[in-house]
Structure 1
Amino acid sequence: MVVLPLLGQLADEYGRKLLLLITISTSMFPFAVLAYNQSRDAVYVYYVLRTISFILSQGSIFCIAVAYAADIIKEENRAAAFSWITGFFSASHVIGNLLARFLPEKYIFVVSIALLIFGSVYMYFFLAETVEPVEKRERDSTFLTNIINFTRKRYESMRYAAVLVFRSPTLKVISLVSFFYELGMSGISSVLLYYLKAVFGFNKNQYSEILSVVGVGAIFSQILVLPLLNPFVGEGVILCLALLASIAYGLLYGLAWASWVPYMSAAFGAIYILVKPATYAVISKGSSSVNQVCKTSSLT
């Protein structure tokens, strides 16, 4: 959580493209270890590198991508744009589940690395920078002075992000909503697969089916439904409906009385997935271009 506002400020100072390249590139190394060797020692190395990768990239990639979109898209079109971004994100999950199910195990990590490299190379050559990096003015300073100045600037940037949130009634409310939503959904996601296996004896194929149901529904709702509804009802109404769907999602899983109920509950995933694009649209409307990453990362 501390890293996100820090990376957000760095994105404003050094550019969105550079930070996207750095955060995405860190995701390659853990999978490269498993692609090379799948021994027990390699698995431990994977978890260490994966932890470091998550610290740098988990959440920050999406925040910077949303800020990049806000730089080039008009305010009235941002909700639809954010929905398309999350829709393609869901599409990648569906394709990833299908690949994991049908690809031989020895090729899964190799394909993952190839896709990560392709994404980084594509961004390097075709992604245009939208923020002019800040010029360095402390080249003649000592190493210790640079460390002190860097620490001071990072503290000020994080303090600035916190002040922006707490001074805005809208952002204070949306921060509480985001906190409790992520708290509940992360709890469900952490135990769901174990729960389904223990109670109904689900196997990996049934897990893949449920995840695919959620993913396909999420693609449809984010790419088609939200852009069509938003001009008429606004992102606030969509956010409320999505939160209600998340409550139904959790209740049906918790009260499931037959093996078909989890599939019905998964259908609500097509609606609750709209929480994030609607939240990003609310935040973006109350933010200037400079503060896009700062505010989004503070609430993520």
Structure 2
Amino acid sequence: MVLKECVRGLKELRPLTHLLFPLCFHWIAEAMTVSVLVDVVTSALCPGQTTCTEAIYISGLQQTVVGIFKMVVLPLLGQLADEYGRKPLLLITVSTSIFPFAVLAWNQSRESVYVYYVLRTISFIISQGSIFCIAVAYAADIIEEGNRAAAFSWITGFFSASHVLGNLLARFLPEKYIFVVSIVLLIFGPVYMHFFLAETVDRVPKRDRDSTFLTKITNVAHKRYESMRDAAAIVFKSPTLRGISFVLFFYELGMSGISSVLLFYLKAVFGFNKNQYSEILSMVGIGAIFSQILVLPLLNPLVGEGWILSLALLASIAYGLLYGLAWASWVPYLSASFGAIYILVKPAVSNTILTLFSSEHQRRRVITDYFNFAIVHVLNCLTCRLMLLFPKDQAQ
């Protein structure tokens, strides 16, 4: 049954070829830069040192700013995609990643790193999350409702597979070529979309659009406030939804605090470089693909979402503890293996909500998720600062 659903989802992807092909190149290009950024940033901001407090603070500040602004920008981009079409918004969001990496490809001085962080923050605000959301909306435009779930699972699978390929490229590609190759792939994406991607939305007539861009932002902000207020009321009235929201909030708070400083931590304690980063990230990516496509569909009918969620949360605890108590260079690899299990937190929660609540509740719960996501990013900077209180040699 599971295999049949996977095959059906793969067949449904044929109309999405011109969407997924360039997006895979985009995701590969972004993933391959993650492992080398730590060395570049540390060398520029803290030359001659293996640890860089300044870089950790900047990373935490970046995530805070991105989380706050995405609360308004993400729904605004969704509204613009409905009015002006999916293709123009995809071209804009996909193109924003070119400029920050172009700066580092040109120069990796201290000033260039600061410029990179500014441009990358703007890029994250516009593109992080919105590319995937607009891609899903594009797929929903051309795929029949009964076949969307299978197709969406394959889109998620391509997303994970692209990150694995990007990490593998970073592992074997010389560091001096990584940004150049990444920029080439990032440019390829929007160029391909421009020539081959077909539009799926009829644009709203000009007279029916909002009069000004400022008016559009104001309307979206007002609707956002009302939606968040309604979502908060639903959460606190439902014991199940309230409990799940608290679980997700603290889970994301802890995991985001770890992920924002993890690579800097590994460099300071064990002297890891891009090769070790790529290996660890590839392990997590491969495990995520395996668990989401094969393990979850098989286990869910047998044990239910509650047991899967509990197991995934326990795996996330082990993941954090092993990194914090790592006593040898092989321990981070053991910790990374738990990534194949804790990645199941979100699917288990989503399945629980889909089972318990109506479509209206589901819609509002998504808004609540975005609200929690933004709060997590605001508190994430504090988490980064607390982690700096512990001497780096404690984990040795």
Superposed pair shares fold, TM > 0.5: yes
- Structure 1 residue 213 and structure 2 residue 283: aligned? yes
Residue 187 (structure 1) shift: 0.9
Residue 174 (structure 1) shift: 4.7
TM-score, normalised via structure 2 length: 0.61
- Structure 1 residue 58 and structure 2 residue 128: aligned? yes
- Structure 1 residue 153 and structure 2 residue 219: aligned? yes
Residue 53 (structure 1) shift: 0.6
- Structure 1 residue 111 and structure 2 residue 181: aligned? yes
Query: Runs of 5+ in structure 1 lacking a partner?
Result: none
1:128-143 map, 5 Å? 129=199, 131-137=201-207
Kindly indicate whether the alpha-carbon contact (under 8 Å) linking 2:85 and 2:202 is maintained by their aligned counterparts in 1: yes
Q: Which amino acid aligns with 1:190?
A: S
Residue 55 (structure 1) shift: 1.5
Residue 26 (structure 1) shift: 0.9
Q: Which amino acid aligns with 1:265?
A: S
Kindly indicate whether the alpha-carbon contact (under 8 Å) linking 2:94 and 2:190 is maintained by their aligned counterparts in 1: yes
Q: Comparing both chains, which one has the higher relative contact order based on Cα–Cα distances under 8 Å and sequence gaps of 6 or more?
A: 1
Residue 217 (structure 1) shift: 1.2
**RMSD across aligned positions (CA):** 3.6
Residue 287 (structure 1) shift: 4.4
Q: Deviations over 1:73-121 (max 9, x none)?
A: 647863x555433333232222222222322333222211222233324
Q: Deviations over 1:42-89 (max 9, x none)?
A: 3333222111111111222233334445553647863x5554333332
Partner of residue 167, structure 2: 97
Kindly indicate whether the alpha-carbon contact (under 8 Å) linking 2:227 and 2:364 is maintained by their aligned counterparts in 1: no
Q: Deviations over 1:131-168 (max 9, x none)?
A: 554433267x9xxx625532432223312431453354
Residue-pair matches, total: 294
SS at match of 2:163: helix
When structure 1 is superposed on structure 2, of 11-20 and 107-116 the one drifting more is 11-20
Partner of residue 194, structure 1: 264
TM-score, normalised via structure 1 length: 0.78
Separation in structure 1 between the aligned mates of residue 84 and residue 366 of structure 2, nearest angstrom: 14
- Structure 1 residue 267 and structure 2 residue 333: aligned? no
Kindly tell me: are residues 198 and 107 of structure 1, through their superposed partners in 2, closer, same or farther at Cα, counting changes over 3 Å? closer
Separation in structure 1 between the aligned mates of residue 152 and residue 313 of structure 2, nearest angstrom: 18
Kindly tell me: are residues 278 and 27 of structure 1, through their superposed partners in 2, closer, same or farther at Cα, counting changes over 3 Å? farther
When structure 1 is superposed on structure 2, of 279-288 and 51-60 the one drifting more is 279-288
Kindly tell me: are residues 266 and 54 of structure 1, through their superposed partners in 2, closer, same or farther at Cα, counting changes over 3 Å? same
- For residue 323 of structure 2, the aligned residue among 238, 253, 257 is 253
Partner of residue 76, structure 2: 6
Kindly tell me: are residues 229 and 207 of structure 1, through their superposed partners in 2, closer, same or farther at Cα, counting changes over 3 Å? same
Kindly tell me: are residues 219 and 192 of structure 1, through their superposed partners in 2, closer, same or farther at Cα, counting changes over 3 Å? same
Partner of residue 165, structure 1: 231
Separation in structure 2 between the aligned mates of residue 134 and residue 292 of structure 1, nearest angstrom: 26
- For residue 99 of structure 2, the aligned residue among 29, 36, 39 is 29
Q: Percent identity?
A: 73
Q: Which amino acid aligns with 2:249?
A: F
Kindly indicate whether the alpha-carbon contact (under 8 Å) linking 1:63 and 1:297 is maintained by their aligned counterparts in 2: no
Query: Runs of 5+ in structure 2 lacking a partner?
Result: 1-69, 374-396
Separation in structure 1 between the aligned mates of residue 364 and residue 90 of structure 2, nearest angstrom: 15
Kindly indicate whether the alpha-carbon contact (under 8 Å) linking 1:100 and 1:108 is maintained by their aligned counterparts in 2: yes
Partner of residue 248, structure 2: 178
Separation in structure 2 between the aligned mates of residue 197 and residue 115 of structure 1, nearest angstrom: 28
